[in-house]
Amino acid sequence: MEYAAAKSTLCRQCGRHFDIAEPQEATAVGTREAVLPGEPQNLLRRFEGLWNREHSTMIHCFECRAEQQISSSASSTICPACSADIDLRDYKITTSFSRNISTHGTIYVSASGDLSSNTVVCRSAVIKGKVRGSLHCVGDVEFKGVGRVPGKLTAHRVLVDKKANVQFFRPLQVGSLEIRGSMAGEVVAETIVLIRKNGSLDGNVTAKSIIIYGKVHGNITIGERCELKSCCTFQGDLKTAHLIIEEGANLIGKSEVTNGKPAVSKPEIVRHEGPAAPVKAAFDGTELTEVDTGFS
């Protein structure tokens, strides 16, 4: 027996997740109604099923990494493997907030928000205010304000926006990084680091590849490919397997091309090369629901 307001549950024998709410009408949600020949179709009726259809997505349990499919309208669920509670809500932080958060939703810290939780685990995050604790995102993090991050940050992808000026006190561990504003701190990236034309980075970089249009002050170690564009300024020591320097690029420091693949004996000068393809913005524009606005 389940609660009358319940929309889904788990089978107590096999642990399978299923919906228990049945449609009140004979026509199933998302199916097309029969239209008589010659009957005009209203545009709203034609797409009514699309508006009302519930979308689903796949998530992984933070505890045991088990995968399950959940409805987009769900606010929480239970892991079928380890029975852990899984929060699916978005959090909008507009004042001081100090509780730990673990959610598959989005964390949004407004300009007046102060997220001082020791540990925050989420799907994605948009940061305009203060973040004092450690932040781990399985997806993307976008910084849009001015501030310091004393805690540890790990994410699949980090974007530092045009008006952002962020300082990291601990090494930034990311899948990829794009800087359009200003950033200070050490970077460890699994794939690519991209410094836009107006972007600047003050810190050491270790990555698979890097493309610099703006300014970088620090030592960088690149596993495969390093590109210094014509409008860039790089000051520091450089070590890479493949170095491409466009005419007009400013390189102040030592450069070393290793014997790793695809190594070259000396930097390659590119005089006529088109700009690199732009990287898409991290935040998908999902509307956030205010769940918690402060906790002292």
Confirm if 130 and 111 have CB atoms less than 8 A apart.
Answer: no
Distance from C-alpha of 126 to C-alpha of 117, rounded to nearest angstrom: 16
Question: Residues 267-282: what's their mean pLDDT?
Answer: 41
Strand 124-127 versus strand 242-246 pairing type = unpaired
- pLDDT at res. 263: 38
- pLDDT at res. 235: 95
Instruction: Indicate if the pLDDT at residue 42 is higher than 80.
Output: no
- pLDDT at res. 205: 96
* 56 vs 190: which has the higher pLDDT: 190
The single residue listed with the structure tokens 């930034």 is 172
Using one digit for the tens of pLDDT, what is the confidence trace for 81-109?
A: 887 888 888 999 999 999 899 999 999 99
Backbone angles phi, psi at 61, to 5 degrees: -65, 135
Using one digit for the tens of pLDDT, what is the confidence trace for 216-273?
A: 999 999 999 999 999 999 999 999 999 999 999 999 999 898 866 543 334 444 444 4
- pLDDT at res. 7: 56
Question: Residues 21-38: what's their mean pLDDT?
Answer: 38
| Position 43 confidence tier, pLDDT thresholds 50, 70, 90 | low
Confirm if 241 and 262 have CB atoms less than 8 A apart.
Answer: yes
Instruction: Indicate if the pLDDT at residue 37 is higher than 80.
Output: no
- pLDDT at res. 1: 52
- pLDDT at res. 8: 60
Give the whole-number percent of the chain exceeding pLDDT 70: 69
C-alpha distances out from residue 103 to 70, 85, 130, Å: 14, 10, 19
| Position 56 confidence tier, pLDDT thresholds 50, 70, 90 | confident
**What residues contact residue 25 under an 8 Å CB cut-off, 6+ apart?**
none
Q: Write the single-letter amino acid at 136.
A: H
Distance from C-alpha of 163 to C-alpha of 78, rounded to nearest angstrom: 40
